Structure formats: C-alpha cells, structure tokens
Amino acid sequence: GEDVEQSLFLSVREGDSSVINCTYTDSSSTYLYWYKQEPGAGLQLLTYIFSNMDMKQDQRLTVLLNKKDKHLSLRIADTQTGDSAIYFCAELRAGSYQLTFGKGTKLSVIP
C-alpha cells in the first residue's frame, strides 16, 4: 500500500513490555525510524535502524525489522508512565528526501 500503517491505540500496565507495530510501504527504504511525541511537544527521535539490520537495541528499546514483510516493531521494556505518548513510525524511501510517517500509535500506560 501507499501508507505507513500503525495501530492507533495501545494500552499497557506499568512495568509490562509494550510492542508497537508498523507496516511500511517500500521494500527499498533505507532507514526506518521511531519518533515519540509527548502532549504539546514536537517529535523526538527515539531510534532508527538501517535497512540492512534486523535488530537494534538501545537500553529499554528494541527495534525489530522484517524486510520481507515490511514490518517494523518497537518494544519498550519495563514501560513507565513517562512513556505515555504518541509513537510514529517513519520510513526514508530510497532516493527521497521525504520521511513518510504513519498516523501514530497512542500509548497509554496504566499505573
């Protein structure tokens, strides 16, 4: 498809793991990104993965990339209330300046 797809909502209990999923559009995309947007704020780059990698881990964050299925996921271990935000998946298509974003997944963390 033409759109980057994400579920709109996810609720988890504090201390549990969160997994946010994304399906992107272009198998030749070079970089895949996760951005976080807290209420009233701009986008904060959380992490990104180059397309020749399968996995990237950064502290509580684990990114998994399945190029065959064009599937990207973000796992947040030991989710905290401060992780409540909207998480955007984005792809950088080969030969393009343009980041293509999903509509975002709103993560709600229940204390």
Contact positions vs another protein (CB under 8 A): 3-4, 30-31, 35, 40-45, 48, 88, 90, 92, 97-103
Query: Which of these, 101, 93, 57, lies nearest to 75 by C-alpha position?
Result: 57
Nearer to another protein, 4 or 76 (CB): 4
> Minimal distance in Å, beta carbon 16 to another protein?
27
- Exposure string of 81-105, with b = 16+ CB inside 10 Å and e = fewer, is eebbbbbbbbbbbeeeeeebbbebb
> Minimal distance in Å, beta carbon 109 to another protein?
22
